Every structure is written in C-alpha cells, then in structure tokens.
Amino acid sequence: MKPPFLFLAALCPLLLRAGAQTALAPLKYLTIPLGKIKPSGWLMDQLKVQTNGLAGHQHEFYAYVSQTDWMGGNSYYSNLEEAGSYCQPHSNQCKSFRFPVLRPLSSRFNGVLGPEVNTTKPRYLWGRYPFMFGAIQMLEYDPSLTDQVVTALHKFVVVANAMLHAGQGVDAWAQTRWEDFVMVLQWLYDYHPNGKEDLLIDTMKYLKWTGVPWEKVFSEQNPFGLPLTWHGVNMAEGLKALPSTYRFTHNQTDLDVASKGWDMLFEYHGRPSGIYSADEYLAGLEAVRGTELCLVVETMFSGSYLYQVMGDPKFADRVEKITYNALPATLTGDMWSRQYLQQQNQIAAKNMNPNPFPNDGAYSNVFGLEPNYPCCTVNHPQGWPKFITNAFLMTPDKKSLVHLYLGPFETTVTLDSENQVKAVVDTQYPFSDVLTTRITATKAFTYYVRIPSWVVGGTIAIDGRVVQPVAPVNGLQAVSVKAGTTLFVLNLPAPVTTGMFSSSSGHSVPDFTSITESRPHGSIAVHRGPLHYAFDIPRNQTVLARNAQQPLAVDLQFDATAPWQYAIDPATLKFAPAAPPATLPSPIFDSGKPPVSITVSACPISWPIAGDTFAAPPPTNPTCTGSARTIRLTPFGATKLRIGEFPVVQLG
Ligand SMILES: *[C@@H]1O[C@H](CO)[C@@H](O)[C@H](O)[C@H]1NC(C)=O
Ligand SMILES: *[C@@H]1O[C@H](CO)[C@@H](O)[C@H](O)[C@H]1NC(C)=O
Ligand SMILES: *[C@@H]1O[C@H](CO)[C@@H](O)[C@H](O)[C@H]1NC(C)=O
C-alpha cells in the first residue's frame, strides 16, 4: 500500500472497510447436515423423554411459544427443528409449528424476517438470530426448502447490512450476541454465497464493530470487565465471538485469546459438573452459587463450535462433561420440570429466604415450568439435540468421518468420491467404558474417534485382532477402515480422581491419576471418566403449582429426608459398577437409575446450613461426630438434591 493511501485510510477507516474482502479462513472440521446423525440406545431414549416432556409439548400450552411472542417462539423453534429430526413422534408437532414460521419467510416484501411490530417500535436484530439457526436446520433436514430459506436469508442480509451502516438495530442483546448472526452469515458464505461474499463479510465486520469487544473481555489484563459481559448467558454465547472473528481477520491472536479466555472462565468460575457458575453474573467457586440452565446449553453449543474452528480436544472433553453431568442434573428425570439455577451442593430445591443468589429470585432453584424467568423453558430443548448434531464431523477434505462425542449413534454420510459410509456405535457410554463400532463403507478411508483426556490404559481391537493400546494424536485415534465392513472395539477405562482435567489443556498431563482440583475450603469433588459423582440426598417432594392446561407441567419443591452432612476419605474411593444391564432404565438421569457408582468411607460431621435452606461452605478440617460408614456416590446428572463438593477426613 502506498503511503498517501495509508494516510487517507488512517483519516477515514471507512475507505478501507469498503474495499474487497479477504476470504473466510476454513474450519478445522465440518458439521454434517441435520438428520444424518441419529442417536440410538439410551441416548435415543433420552430424546424421547425430552419429546414426551416439557420440550415436546410446550407449544401446545405455553404462552411464550405462541406466535405472539416472536423471541420465545424463535428460540423454541430453533430447537424443535433439530429435536424433531430425531424423534418420529415429534415430526407432526414440528410441522405444525413450522407453518407459522415459514409464513414470514415467504410473504415479507421488504426483506425483514419476522413481524414489524409497529413502526414506532425500533426494529432490533437479535431476536431473529435463533430463527435463522432454526431455518438453516430446517433446510438441512428438508433440502426442498433450500431456495426459499436461502433467498429469504440473503434478502435479510441486505436489510441488516443497511441498518448496521445506519447505526440501527443494535440493542444490548445484539451487542453481546452478534456472533450468532456472524455464524449464520458464515454458513451462507460457506454453502450458498450466491456471489454475495463481500456483502456477507462486510456485515460480519459491522456486527463485530457495533458489538462488545470480546477480545478485551477475555484478555488477562481485564478479565471479564463489563457488566453486560459478566452476564452468564452472554458469556456462554460470547465464547463463539473470537473464533468466528478469526475466520475473517485471520488473526491468530483471536484464537489464542479465545482459548485462554475459556481456561480462565473455568479456573475462576468452574464447576466439577463441567460448567461454570453465573447466577445472572459470573459467581465464582462457592458450591451454593448458581448456574443458569440457558448458559449450560449455550456453552455446549459454543464449545462444539470452538472445536470446529480450532480442533483443540479440550473443548470436546468439556462439552461431553457438561452434557453428561450439568445438563441432566438441572431437569427432573422425566424432563417436565427444570430449574433456572442449579447448585453443586444443593440440599433443597424450594423458595429460599434468604437465597444465596445476589441477583436472582428466591424461586430460582425450584424445578418447574418457568422458575425465575421463562427463557430457559424455551431455550433448554437445544441441549441434547445440538450435542447429537455435533457428535460427528468431517475433515475439511471430506475424506474422513470423525466421531467426537462418545455415546450410542448411527450415522450415515457420503464422504468424498461418493464413499457411502455408515457408522453404528453400540455402547452404554458414559455408563460403560466399552464402545463397539461397526463401519460399512464403499471405499477405504481413515476414521477418527476421540479418546478423552481422562482415559488411562485405553485399548482398541480392530476386526477381532490383537488388543492394542490407543494412541491418539491431538485427542483423535485414527482407524484404517477398508471397503466393506470394519468392526472395532474400544475399551476406555479411567481412574477415580478428585480432579477433572488440567485447565490449560486436557492432553498435556502425563499422569492423570495425580490430578486433583482444589475446591474452596479444602473440599474435593469426585470424578471417573466422563462422569462426576455426588452424594444423592434422599428427598420428598411437594407440588407447588400445576399448569391449568397441562397438569404434567408442575413446580416441585424437594426437601432432604436424610442427613447429608458427611466428610469423606479420598483414599477409600472405589469404583463400584453393577453388572451391565441389557438395557438401561428410562429415564436414566434420575435417582438410583445409572448402573455405576463409587463407594467411599465417610463420617457424619457438623455442617451448618445458611439461611434455612442452603448449605454453608464445606467445613475445613472437620471432626467426625459419629462412626465411619460407607456411602455411595452416584452420577451427578441423576441427582436432584446432592453434595458434589465434600469436606475431607482421614479415616485410617
Ligand atoms: C406500537 O408501539 C408503541 C410503542 O412501543 C406502543 O405503545 C403501541 O401500543 C404499539 N401498538 C401496537 C398496535 O402494537
Ligand atoms: C489481532 O487481534 C488482537 C486482539 O484480538 C488485536 O489486539 C491485534 O491488534 C490484532 N492484530 C491485527 C494485525 O489486527
Ligand atoms: C419432607 O420431609 C421433611 C423432612 O423430613 C418434612 O419436614 C416434610 O414435612 C416432608 N414433606 C412432605 C411433603 O412429605
């Protein structure tokens, strides 16, 4: 660039911005269109439980999902589309809901997606982002809608671009959640650019410029600076901002800051259940502070995207941990009632006065239809379906299939050179260490499967041949698949630990058994492999409210009916799996259902409650007030009242 031009550009940055754009950086891994990856076994059952629960029925009775509420309806719609593709019984519900959302797609003359409420109310961009995610899924599942959806999205990009240039449409949500629209624009760019590449990239840049500078939020100098970005759900969505930015800046610092920011978030606010705490705003490490359900599902989605852009297995390890622990823990087993905030140590779920959450209501940890706020009622259904959608990926050359999230699946996909591939994964993982994968392919190719960082002594046996140690590279085990059928068995055991994984990288730790994680007040949390284990406090329940139209939609109070005040001796932790059942019980994530547990020696201690309904911090160096006994810890996701962080004693 000649100096005079540089000078001009410095005076008027818009000159530079208007120029031709560089291409988007490629993704490390590509997603597979909706409908090609299907859950099976217990995971299919979990989707059915969700479909038969609040997620699959709320559009029949819940006001926020009716057409009158565009935002709530959109969040829900974007999830329903995905969930509907997995469960046949769900399809009709999905179609009936699709009709009203398609109408704005086809009839809006000026390119605006969604209703113009009235001309005196400003038109904001953000409420439309969840709709666009849903519309993309709709056309992936039903390609006959491609023209209709792509045309509508491109028309809307023209409107949005003009609005952004004119300084319009950006409210607090658009400012923090701009990355969701950037991802939609990048999907258009990758799959249906229609010659509009420059407009698409220009719109991405304007979204970033008019939004929160996440690179500052996640920087070490100024960790989590602004109130808006300390907000837990904004943070969960903002985790996607820098990787999405990288695709148009090609600036490695964007990725480095995203990766470091992820580690810092969990270092300062992390939970043994995999997630972080934010009861409205980031909430630190104390075990009674809350984690909002919306941020659980948004972090799962963001972690999947971070993996697709960066390929670092630490993102996948954590998404799997969140999915199998924090997500089911905050819903009743039948998925008809959900919390707003879950706690790591949760001795009651009830209206709490006082409550431990500085910015949320007394009703926040009740399991119900819409405790504290309605947002997680419409937003939580994305959790399981998006986990499934992102469980398999392709390498960018489309020559290889990658099995990322472990569990039971059936995936059918056409790889490069018309290679028709079907992978069937038969397993009870995470309730079992063994996964049997049968692949049929018309051509030979390299298949990859993730080996989680917590695995010690993992083995693979291909086509009945000798059992060999797994040898993952960057978290992935390569398996040479021949034309025809290939069958391999993975055994992925893990030691019982009192730490999850190193926060810097899941794969840099030489001796995993030595990992311990310091929790506040010298307390410890127990893990084995993908599951975190907790003491399941026996409970009774009181129905606090019942929806008038849908009697299954209940608000439930849970009270402890037995002591929970125990200290444990970590030297006595012992994995105690039951004989594997032929089929797992349904629903699996409820008290007493999973076939795995850990026993530990414990003794009763004096452990006060704070207020009248939540546990004080775990006592440091407690003394036993009664005789030692063995207690059983069970998967955190199956507990609804629990102790997940224990005081420590030595019982000799
Ligand atoms: C139009 O918007 C104004 C301002 O938000 C509001 O007072 C009015 O009720 C709205 N009218 C309709 C018909 O929605
Ligand atoms: C790269 O990004 C970082 C922050 O993410 C920023 O400080 C730096 O100026 C950027 N570099 C270039 C060349 O734009
Ligand atoms: C639940 O158990 C608690 C503690 O034993 C007791 O006070 C309460 O009355 C019980 N509630 C119900 C509904 O049984």
**CA-closest residue to ligand 2 atom 6:** 253
Exposed, middle or buried: residue 33 (CB in 10 Å: 0-12, 13-18, 19+)? middle
Ligand 1 centroid from CA 118, angstroms = 6
The torsion angles phi and psi of 223, rounded to 5 degrees, stand at -60, 125
Question: What is the distance, to the nearest Å, from the Cα of residue 198 to the centroid of all Cα atoms in its chain?
Answer: 32
Query: Is the CB of residue 357 less than 8 Å from the CB of residue 341?
Result: yes
Ligand 1 centroid from CA 68, angstroms = 14
Ligand 1 atom with minimal separation from the 117 CA: 14
What's the CA gap between 174 and 155, in Å, rounded? 19
Give which of 399, 380, 510 is closest to 53, Cα–Cα.
380
- What does the pLDDT look like over 35-74, one tens digit per residue? 899 999 999 999 999 999 999 898 888 887 754 455 566 6
**CA-closest residue to ligand 1 atom 13:** 118
Please name the residues in contact with 569: beta carbons below 8 A apart, sequence gap of 6 or more. 600, 601, 602, 648, 649, 650, 651
Ligand 2 atom with minimal separation from the 245 CA: 5
Q: Is 561 in the pocket of ligand 3 (CB under 6 A)?
A: yes
Ligand nearest to the CA of 261: 2
Structure confidence at residue 503 as a pLDDT band (50, 70, 90): very low
Mutate to test the pocket of ligand 1, among 69, 116, 118, 171 (most ligand atoms within 8 A of CB): 118
Mean predicted confidence (pLDDT) in 80-108 = 51
Please name the residues in contact with 140: beta carbons below 8 A apart, sequence gap of 6 or more. 33, 34, 35
Give which of 329, 297, 322, 320 is closest to 637, Cα–Cα.
329
Ligand 3 centroid from CA 72, angstroms = 36
Residue type, 471: A
Structure confidence at residue 127 as a pLDDT band (50, 70, 90): confident
Q: Which residue has the tokens 């800046």?
A: 249
Ligand 2 centroid from CA 251, angstroms = 6
Q: Is 544 in the pocket of ligand 3 (CB under 6 A)?
A: no
Ligand nearest to the CA of 542: 3
Three-class DSSP category at 187: helix
Ligand nearest to the CA of 246: 2
Output the six-digit token pair for 99: 């009709």
Q: Is 250 in the pocket of ligand 2 (CB under 6 A)?
A: no
What's the CA gap between 154 and 601, in Å, rounded? 62
Range scoring the smallest mean pLDDT among 84-98, 359-373, 428-442: 84-98
Give the chain's mean pLDDT: 88
**CA-closest residue to ligand 2 atom 14:** 251
**CA-closest residue to ligand 2 atom 5:** 254
Sign of CA dihedral 195, 196, 202, 204: negative
Q: Say which residue, 296 or 139, is predicted with more confidence.
A: 296
Ligand 2 centroid from CA 306, angstroms = 19
What's the CA gap between 11 and 388, in Å, rounded? 49
What pLDDT shows up at residue 8?
35
C-alpha torsion angle, residues 154, 157, 162, 163 (rounded to 10): 140
Ligand 3 centroid from CA 554, angstroms = 18
For residue 164, is it left (φ>0), alpha (ψ between -120 and 50) or beta?
alpha
Q: Is 257 in the pocket of ligand 2 (CB under 6 A)?
A: yes
Q: Is 215 in the pocket of ligand 2 (CB under 6 A)?
A: yes
Strand ranges across the sheet with 554-560: 348-349, 554-560, 539-546
402 bridge partner residues: 393, 448
What pLDDT shows up at residue 201?
97
- What does the pLDDT look like over 190-245, one tens digit per residue? 999 999 999 999 999 999 999 999 998 887 766 555 667 789 999 999 999 999 99
What pLDDT shows up at residue 112?
79
Ligand 3 atom with minimal separation from the 542 CA: 13
Ligand 3 centroid from CA 541, angstroms = 8
Ligand 1 centroid from CA 287, angstroms = 45
Query: Residues enclosing ligand 1, CB less than 6 A?
Result: 117-118, 120-121
Q: Is 540 in the pocket of ligand 3 (CB under 6 A)?
A: yes
Output the six-digit token pair for 570: 């970590």
Q: Is 459 in the pocket of ligand 2 (CB under 6 A)?
A: no
Q: Percent of the chain scored above 90 by pLDDT?
A: 74
Please name the residues in contact with 609: beta carbons below 8 A apart, sequence gap of 6 or more. 347, 615, 616
Q: Taking CA 362 as the corner, what is the angle to CA 643 and CA 547, rounded to the nearest 5 degrees?
A: 100
E-strand spans in 547-647? 554-560, 566-568, 574-575, 598-604, 609-610, 614-615, 629-635, 642-643
Is the per-residue pLDDT at 525 higher than 70? Answer: yes
What's the CA gap between 84 and 335, in Å, rounded? 16
Ligand 2 centroid from CA 249, angstroms = 9
What pLDDT shows up at residue 135?
87
Ligand 1 centroid from CA 122, angstroms = 11
Ligand 1 atom with minimal separation from the 120 CA: 2
What pLDDT shows up at residue 117?
56
What's the CA gap between 136 and 482, in Å, rounded? 34
- What does the pLDDT look like over 263-322, one tens digit per residue? 999 999 999 999 999 999 999 999 999 999 999 999 999 999 999 999 999 999 999 999
What pLDDT shows up at residue 490?
98
**CA-closest residue to ligand 1 atom 12:** 118
Is the per-residue pLDDT at 20 higher than 60? Answer: no
| Residues constituting the chain | 652
Ligand 2 atom with minimal separation from the 252 CA: 1
Ligand 1 centroid from CA 115, angstroms = 13
Please name the residues in contact with 537: beta carbons below 8 A apart, sequence gap of 6 or more. 347, 560, 562, 564, 639, 641, 642, 643
What pLDDT shows up at residue 10?
36
Query: Is the CB of residue 445 less than 8 Å from the CB of residue 399?
Result: yes
Three-class DSSP category at 360: coil
What pLDDT shows up at residue 59?
84
Ligand 3 centroid from CA 609, angstroms = 17
Q: Percent of the chain scored above 70 by pLDDT?
A: 85
Ligand 1 centroid from CA 620, angstroms = 57
What's the CA gap between 585 and 590, in Å, rounded? 9
- What does the pLDDT look like over 380-394, one tens digit per residue? 999 999 999 999 999
Ligand 3 centroid from CA 540, angstroms = 6
Q: Taking CA 98 as the corner, what is the angle to CA 94 and CA 103, rounded to the nearest 5 degrees?
A: 170
Residue type, 39: P
Q: Which residue has the tokens 């439930």?
A: 556
What's the CA gap between 69 and 596, in Å, rounded? 43
Ligand nearest to the CA of 561: 3
Ligand 1 centroid from CA 123, angstroms = 13
Q: Say which residue, 114 or 399, is predicted with more confidence.
A: 399
Q: Say which residue, 131 or 440, is predicted with more confidence.
A: 440
Structure confidence at residue 16 as a pLDDT band (50, 70, 90): very low
Mutate to test the pocket of ligand 1, among 68, 119, 121 (most ligand atoms within 8 A of CB): 121
What pLDDT shows up at residue 73?
62
Half-sphere exposure of 299 (CA within 13 A, CB side): 31
What's the CA gap between 581 and 428, in Å, rounded? 9
- What does the pLDDT look like over 96-117, one tens digit per residue? 555 455 555 555 557 777 766 5
